[in-house]
Chains A and B, each alone.
Chain A
Amino acid sequence: MLSWTEFLAVKGPGILSATWEHLMLSLGAVLLGTLIAVPLGIILARHERGASVVLGIASTIQTIPSLAFFGFVLPFLGIGVVPAMTVLFLYSLLPILRNTYTGIREVNPAYLEAGIGMGMNRRQLLTWIQFPLAFPVIMSGIRVSTVYIISWATLSALIGAGGLGDPILAGIHTYDAKLIIAGALPAAILALLVSWLLGLVEYAVTPRGLRQR
């Protein structure tokens, strides 16, 4: 059995690159999800009937167990980064979509009235009033999404997309505690760290007058 120092000397670089891979995979999926879900959420806020349908579909997707989902895409997309990214992207949609929708809808109508009274058109209302006020809510959707995706990305190792799932799985198969810890600990820290950082961003983008306490 290797000591921890020997272990880290041998496996350290591999773990680091797996962590980087993991982060890139997760952030890539969430970025893609944000690019689609935020505009879609804004559109849905204007079309209530469409909203319940789209949100219903998105929440059904969210309900599908993650391993099952990876299983579904396997026959169609095969293994590797592309199918993993596809699944993670689909999973990232709901929290962002839902939060954008509710964030925009829950803007106090009085502010909109004030904007209309100042002669703002619809686009100006969106960019100067609705979006800034909804931004903290949208950010919290992005944060929830990112934490989920970091968790699910550990499973993408199952379909050959790499990341921190690799050492964890290898550790489980060989019953090697060090390898498990070397994969699981960075994955947990990554999730906690990203959640904390995005929480800070959430606070920073909250208009000063709306901050609690």
Chain B
Amino acid sequence: MDRVLALSWQHLSLSVTGVLLAAAGGIPLGILLTRHRWLAKPVMAATEVIQTIPSLAMLALLMMLFGLGDTTLVVSLFLYSLLPIVRNTYTGLLGVEPSLLEAGKGMGMTRGQLIWRVQVPIALPVILAGLRVALVTAIGIATIGVLIGAGGLGTLIWRGIQTRNNTMVLMGAVPAALLAILTDAGLALLEQTLVPRGLKKKAVSAL
């Protein structure tokens, strides 16, 4: 049981690391794209192509660059997380009502203040929805990290499959599924609370 807990923790921290790295790159990138919109199309297309590559193929190809182990897994989680994060940041910021921006300008806000005090707070639920999708996907992909020598709950599932030990398979599969479902539900709840009070009536469309 201790082993399951330790592996669950490892699983979660690997997934979170990959997604946080992607957020650190993807959110500024998304903000940047709203300033230079002609770049949006090619950048989105590129992240979409990355997303389309089958996960096992991606892990195997990256393994040749980064070797066996956690690094390869985290790099591929980073790559897979870019699309939902960049896309949601971009559409979230563009979805802010122009009248609110006008109001900010009228109050003498600079461009930086408009971004950080108006656009980002209003877009925060949408950005978070992107992070949620990214993290749930990452938790899923992290289970196959075991095939390229990374840790996490995939270890139990894979060893169980190989030794035809169903109990072991389930000891990995059940916590992995719970982890994904609980993360999804928890972050969905957080999204709700982050909607600025004045906007709560309208439903926020999470992509």
A→B interface (CB under 8 Å): 60, 63-72, 74-75, 147, 150-155, 158-159, 164-165, 168-169, 171-172, 177, 180-181, 183-185, 187-188, 191-192, 195
Contacts and interface: CB of A to CB of B under 8 A. Distances in A.
A169 B140 contact: no
Contacts of A68: 143, 153, 157, 172-174, 176-177
A188 B160 CA distance: 28
A113 to B, nearest CB: 25
B13 interface: no
Interface in B13-33: none
Contacts of A150: 54
B55 interface: yes
B52 A147 contact: yes
Contacts of A147: 52
Chain A interface secondary structure, helix, strand, loop or mixed? helix
15 contacts: A65-B140, A65-B142, A67-B140, A67-B173, A68-B157, A68-B172, A71-B172, A71-B173, A72-B170, A154-B56, A158-B158, A172-B60, A183-B57, A183-B60, A184-B57
A59 to B, nearest CB: 8
Contacts of B54: 150-154, 164, 184, 187-188, 191
B140 A66 contact: yes
Contacts of A151: 52-57
A72 to B, nearest CB: 5
B176 A172 contact: no
B181 interface: yes
B28 to A, nearest CB: 27
A31 B199 CA distance: 42
Interface centre among B56, B170, B174, B176 (most CB of A within 10 A): B56
A172 B146 CA distance: 11
A67 B52 contact: no
B139 interface: yes
B53 A188 contact: yes
B83 interface: no
B181 A155 contact: no
Contact of B61 (A63, A66, A155, A184): A184
Q: Which 5 A-B pairs have the closest CB atoms?
A: A184-B57, A68-B173, A151-B54, A71-B173, A65-B140
A180 B176 contact: no
A63 B161 CA distance: 21
Contacts of A60: 181
B60 A171 contact: yes
